[in-house]
A and B are shown apart, each in its own frame.
Chain A
Amino acid sequence: MSPPGSRVACLWVPFFAAAATERCEPPLAERALIVVRGAPPVTRVVEANAAGREAGVRPGMTESEARARCPDLISRMFCGEGIVSAQHALLEAALAVSPRVEDTAPGLVHADVDGLRRLFGDDGAVAEHLARQARAVGLPARVGVAGSRTVAGVAVRATGGRVVVVPPGGERATLATAPLAVLDLSAGIAATLARWGVRTLGELAALPRAGLAERLGPEGLRVHDLALGRDPDPFTPYAPPPFWEEAQDLDWEIADLEMLGAVLDRVLERLTARFGAAHVWADTLSLRLQLATGGRHERTIALAQPACERSVLATLVRCELATRPPAAAVTAVAVSARVVRVPPQPGRLGQPPAPRQRDLAALVARLTELVGSDNFGSPRLIDSHHPDAVLLVPFAPAEDLDSDGPRPSSSVVLRRMRPSPRVEVAIEDDRPVHVHWGSAVRRIVACAGPWRASGEWWDGRAWARDEWDLLLDDGTLCRLALDRRANQWFLDGIYD
């Protein structure tokens, strides 16, 4: 049961086996595809993609029957390792948005998105972000956000949209019209409810709970809870494994190393997409090849430096295979990587690594979107005695160190107020005694000054000011400045 006020996102990839196969071979998305299981020639359809379903192919059909309906059909054997890889990719996509993620079922992941509003925006923006992350790892996920996992799951199944948000308080309305089929009920319960004439979750929720318990037992209570939008089980957080794996079965045997390299390229592309989503690098690669003779060819490649680029990893794998080729043709490949979370760029000797250029380019683009291009950069001091004489230049970290000379001592710095607010100051014996700032009046306990400064009288932008360091009666240590040309007082900032 989710606590009141919580927000949960449900990532659901419909027809997950077909989606996982398309993820391995993206061109198949444009063709009618079926995933089959069983020993040839008696293979049965497990799932079909959208084009296959349009042609009338349904799960449970024999492959021959499916081909009779759609002669151009492409079939692939059900690959358990591919499903596991796709599920891990989906989980990592969700982990890139929320630290609390639950591995519910193949193609179904829940994420706790409570409190992410400040980072991404409203629930719709969070859902869009989750959908984008899933798409980045090759999975067309639908995302629903609601107050509980059950409602989010029902909403995303019952509506056809890519993203659906159930506002707080709208759970009952969402559940009321949803058909019972969205709950994945057991055949017995579904048949009983159909016999009773119950078609929607709203009708099921309206049934007396005690009566359901008497007639259907604990399963009846569970189904009633689901119809009310309650989560029957606690949230079980997912912990990512130390090794990340991508695998692919081959429909044909490959003996040629060039062709095998092309297959491994695609496998590594999927693996590195997952690295990118989670900001991790591979430290060690393990290559596992299933041979046509029934044996296995296993190699481990220890990387000299953590890497996440597909081209780098592919080159290393190709070199390893060229040095120690497999003894027979290959029927399946799997690549697993031990991931580390350290930046791969060592920088100069003795220096911490700096951000890479491409990371900086992406960062600058995002910052421009968030705060505008005028509001970030590297501060550069202008050669002037004028206070706060600074401009922003594009951020490009210097490579040389500015650590020569004596080590500066710790300094008290000013928290500037921009623009400096105008204040009224009461003077006694040529020294300030009270400060009026808005409606507040503060007594000055101690003061130091005036510290006179002036400049730029030679080019028409002349300025002249007296600075005072003040300790106010509330303990605040601040700096006031008297603009001598305008005879006005300003609060420069607070020492902190």
Chain B
Amino acid sequence: MLARGEITEIVGRPSSGRTSLLVDCLREATRGGGVAAVVDTDEAFDPSAAARAGVDLRRVLWVRCGGRRDVALRVADLLVRCPGFTVVGLDLGERPPRIPLTVAFRLRLAVRRSGSALLILASRRIAGPGATLAVQTIRRSLEWSGPRGAPTRLARVGIDVRVLRSRGPWHGRGEPGATRWWTA
């Protein structure tokens, strides 16, 4: 899913697997030797879960914005202008701001110059035609672990990734519509 020099949007309902998909991309970037940044608007990023997922936290810059969406956008703008970041994840959470088209294209111009992949995570699409790829995550099924009738833990979740907009080749693993299982 890492389309360098492009903007990718990940949208979906809560618990649909958006953040897991973002963390998956962070893992791909950091295990390949790249450097990643997470712009965390609502301070929702869980480093221990990311480490369990295989993210090399030594290569992650975590920026907490204290719920200020305008600051998050400024930080993202700053990061995509700094050459050397493989991925910049912008987590705007459940209340993403409206981004004017000018800003979206400005961000796209910046990521094209720096070669970073900008991943925007939000409940709905905000970058419009500025995004090269937009995907929606949909949770399909759940599995629990432990004794039948009294499970003790969430085991794994089946998630579909649906492509909403694509202006280039699919960079993700497997087919975009296939259900993938993620363990808890």
A residues adjacent to B (C-beta < 8 A): 98-100, 112-116, 118-120, 278-280, 341-345, 347-348, 350-356, 359-360, 362-363, 366-367, 370-371, 375-381, 387-390, 392, 395, 397-398, 401-403, 407-418, 431, 446-451, 469, 471, 475-478, 493-496
Contact = CB atoms under 8 A, between A and B. Distances in A.
B180 A410 contact: yes
Interface string B130-169: 0000000001001011100011111011000000000000
A359 B153 contact: no
A370 B58 contact: no
A353 B181 CA distance: 32
A411 B53 contact: yes
Contacts of B23: 411, 413
A395 B78 CA distance: 16
Contact of A114 (B57, B100, B150): B100
A99 B109 CA distance: 7
B27 interface: yes
B34 A351 contact: yes
Contacts of B97: 118
Main secondary structure of the interface of B (DSSP, over half): mixed
Contacts of B61: 376-378, 395
Interface string B61-89: 11111100111011101110111111000
A116 B20 CA distance: 31
Given A100-B105, A376-B62, A448-B144, 20 more contacts: A99-B105, A347-B33, A352-B33, A359-B84, A367-B78, A380-B57, A389-B48, A398-B56, A403-B32, A403-B56, A410-B53, A410-B183, A412-B20, A412-B154, A412-B183, A448-B153, A471-B142, A475-B139, A477-B154, A496-B18
B45 A416 contact: yes
Contacts of B75: 367, 370-371
B46 A416 contact: yes
Given A367-B78, A411-B184, A115 B103 contact: yes
A177 to B, nearest CB: 31
A355 B83 contact: yes
Contact of B184 (A344, A345, A350, A412): A412
A60 B2 CA distance: 60
Nearest to A492: B46
Nearest to B137: A496
B17 A496 contact: yes
B52 to A, nearest CB: 6
A272 B31 CA distance: 34
B72 to A, nearest CB: 9
Contact of B24 (A114, A403, A410): A410
Interface residues of B, number: 89
Given A118-B70, A367-B78, A413-B20, A418 B84 contact: no
Contacts of A119: 73-74, 77, 103, 106
A446 B44 CA distance: 24
Interface of B: 13-20, 23-24, 27, 29-35, 42-54, 56-66, 69-71, 73-75, 77-79, 81-86, 93, 97, 99-103, 105-106, 109-110, 112-115, 139, 142, 144-146, 150-154, 156-157, 180-184
A118 B75 CA distance: 10
A99 B102 contact: yes
Contacts of B110: 279
B64 A343 contact: no
A100 B100 CA distance: 13
Contact of A469 (B42, B66, B70, B153): B153
A112 to B, nearest CB: 6
B33 A401 contact: yes
Nearest to A349: B33
A397 B24 CA distance: 19
A375 B81 contact: no
A448 B47 contact: no
B152 A353 contact: no
B58 to A, nearest CB: 4
Contacts of A367: 63, 75, 78
Contacts of B99: 115, 118
Given A415-B46, A496-B15, A403 B51 contact: no
Contact of A370 (B78, B81, B84): B78
A118 B73 contact: yes
Contact of B47 (A115, A344, A371, A379): A379
A390 B48 contact: yes
A116 B106 CA distance: 9
A31 B124 CA distance: 59
B171 to A, nearest CB: 15
A297 B107 CA distance: 41
Contacts of B16: 496
Nearest to B146: A448
A408 B53 contact: yes
In order of increasing CB-CB distance, the 5 nearest A-B pairs are: A115-B100, A355-B84, A351-B33, A408-B54, A379-B47
A350 B32 CA distance: 8
B10 to A, nearest CB: 10
A362 B84 CA distance: 13
A435 to B, nearest CB: 14
A345 B69 CA distance: 32
B46 A98 contact: no
Contacts of A278: 113
A467 to B, nearest CB: 9
B62 A379 contact: yes
